[in-house]
């Protein structure tokens, strides 16, 4: 029973001690399994605690312990599509260690970031995770904060600070290998703006795999544009015009793939029979809404968050890590590359 009854004030250890007829120190030991106590005493205290619905005041405990068992997660992403799974993963890993999370969304405003940082520091968080929506290096949030920091789905311009990123290049490679295994030989790659590091890395992975297979697809063949369906629709026509015989298209995002898919259907091109299609992000509403559903590369952002949290826990226990670490992607196969799958 979490409910302490209709008491206005929650029970303190003092109340428990009184009810059990022991001293306050003894009650503490009994509750925490410390020191040497008679089993009977231990039980009596436990019973009293249960009766009062006692839950220790974590603040008081933290004050003494010098740590709070909380960490802050600062995201620039408006709790968006990318930082959410990262947070879930982090919360998961931290929650197992009884650590709670303050979530802060800066909406990409430096001023808010500063405010949140102040707030978190005065709440004496044990550590900080800085999450982003782009993997580009960003200004460090502070090198002398006195608490460990891990970057997730972004990295610090100070390259020594620990950062966890998805393996975008590996994701591009996965897509290429899948399409090659299907026997496709004539490719297109439609993706977001070239100024996005993620777009460049995915393209590089894709091209590397092509080169490895002895195929002529090179960096020059990559179609950079926008992260939108509209660009997918436009680029699809472009590819059909400029690449006769194309039998596979890898898209840098599911939204782009969605646009491509729509246009192919409209011009009477069958997916996957004529053209196999692979997206990126594995974003449910997009990949499942498409017809046929989209094969896509999943960045496993929950893992990114989880790993970031693990690095943070290490740092908190004085075993800090350094530099960039990547987490592998995963390919999820669906109808757009394999007929029967729908």
Q: Map the chain to HEC letters.
A: CCCCCCCCCCCCHHHHHHHHCCCHHHHHHHHHCCCCCCHHHHHHHHHHHHHHCCCCCHHHHHHHHCCCCEEEEEECCCCCCCHHHHHHHHHHHHHCCCCEEEEEECCCCHHHHHHHHHHHHHCCCCEEEEECCCCCEECCCCCCCCCCEEEECCEECCCCCCEEEECHHHHHHHHHHHHHHCCCCCEEEEECCCCCHHHHHHHHHHHHHHHHCCCCCCHHHEEECCCCHHHHHHHHHHHHHHCCCCCEEEECCHHHHHHHHHHHHHCCCCCCCCCEEEEECCCHHHHHHCCCCCEEEECCHHHHHHHHHHHHHHHHCCCCCCCEEEECCEEECCCCCCHHHC
The CB-of-125 to DNA minimum distance in angstroms stands at 14
Q: Among DNA, a copy of itself, none, what binds residue 78 when CB lies within 5 to 8 Å by partner kind?
A: a copy of itself
Pick the stretch among 24-32, 135-143, 145-153, 175-183 that binds DNA (CB under 7 A): 24-32
Contact segment (CB under 7 A) with DNA among 63-71, 90-98, 105-113, 269-277 equals 63-71
**Residue 206: left if φ>0, alpha if ψ -120 to 50, beta else—which one?**
alpha
Q: Does 63 bind DNA (CB under 7 A)?
A: yes
Contact partner at residue 5 from a copy of itself, DNA, none, CB < 5 to 8 Å by partner kind: a copy of itself
Residue placing its CB nearer to a copy of itself in the complex, 147 or 174: 147
The nearer residue to a copy of itself, 247 or 302, going by C-beta atoms, is 302
- Applying CB under 7 A, which of residues 4, 53, 56, 320 lies at the interface with DNA? 56
User: Which residues of this chain interact with a copy of itself, rule CB under 8 A?
Assistant: 2-10, 55-60, 62-63, 68, 78-79, 84, 87-88, 91, 98, 100-105, 114, 117-119, 121-124, 142-146, 228-230, 233, 255, 258-259, 262, 265-266, 285-286, 288-289, 291
Only segment of 57-65, 71-79, 133-141, 222-230 that touches DNA (CB under 7 A): 57-65
Least distance in angstroms from the C-beta of 44 to DNA: 9
Cα separation, 124 vs 72, whole angstroms: 10
Nearer to a copy of itself, 161 or 167 (CB): 161
Q: Which of 4, 46, 53, 61 binds DNA (CB under 7 A)?
A: 61
41 contacts DNA (rule: CB under 7 A): yes
Q: Name the one range near DNA by CB under 7 A: 61-69, 156-164, 293-301, 331-339.
A: 61-69
Is residue 7 involved in binding DNA (CB under 7 A)?
no
Answer for which of 1, 3, 8, 64 binds DNA (CB under 7 A) is 64
Chain CA centroid to CA 155, Å: 13
Which phi and psi (to 5°) does residue 255 adopt? Answer: -65, -45
Binding-site member from 19, 28, 105, 254 for DNA (CB under 7 A)? 28
Shortest distance (Å) from residue 229 CB to a copy of itself: 4
- Per CB under 7 A, residues contacting DNA are 9, 12-14, 22-26, 28-29, 31-32, 34-38, 40-41, 54, 56-57, 60-61, 63-66
């Amino acid at each position: 029973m979490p409910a302490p009854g209709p008491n206005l004030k929650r029970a303190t250890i003092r109340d428990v001690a009184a009810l059990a007829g022991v001293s306050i120190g003894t009650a503490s030991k009994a509750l925490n399994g410390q020191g040497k106590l008679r089993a009977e005493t231990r039980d009596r205290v436990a019973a009293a605690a249960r009766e009062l619905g006692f839950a220790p005041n974590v603040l008081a405990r933290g004050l003494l312990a010098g740590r709070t068992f909380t960490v802050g997660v600062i995201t620039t992403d408006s709790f968006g599509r990318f930082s959410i799974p990262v947070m879930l993963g982090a919360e998961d890993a931290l929650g197992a260690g009884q650590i709670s999370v303050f979530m802060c969304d800066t909406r990409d405003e430096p001023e808010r970031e500063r405010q949140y940082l102040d707030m978190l520091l005065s709440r004496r968080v044990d550590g900080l995770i800085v999450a982003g929506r782009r993997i580009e290096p960003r200004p460090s949030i502070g090198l002398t904060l006195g608490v460990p920091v891990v970057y997730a789905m972004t990295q610090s311009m100070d390259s020594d600070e620990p950062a966890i990123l998805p393996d975008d290049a590996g994701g591009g490679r996965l897509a290429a290998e899948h399409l090659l295994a299907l026997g496709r030989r004539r490719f297109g790659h439609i993706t977001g703006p070239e100024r996005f590091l993620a777009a460049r890395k995915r393209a590089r992975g894709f091209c590397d795999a092509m080169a490895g297979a002895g195929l002529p697809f090179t960096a020059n063949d990559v179609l950079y544009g926008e992260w939108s369906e509209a660009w997918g629709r436009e680029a699809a026509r472009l590819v059909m015009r400029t690449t006769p015989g194309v039998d596979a298209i890898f898209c840098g995002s599911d939204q782009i793939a969605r646009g491509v898919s729509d246009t192919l259907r409209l011009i009477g091109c069958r997916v996957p029979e004529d053209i196999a299609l692979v997206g990126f992000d594995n974003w449910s509403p997009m990949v499942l809404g498409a017809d046929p559903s989209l094969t896509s590369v999943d960045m496993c952002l929950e893992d990114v968050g989880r790993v970031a949290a693990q690095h943070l826990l290490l740092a908190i226990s004085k075993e800090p890590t350094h530099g960039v670490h990547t987490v592998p992607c995963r390919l999820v196969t669906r109808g757009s590359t394999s007929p029967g799958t729908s």
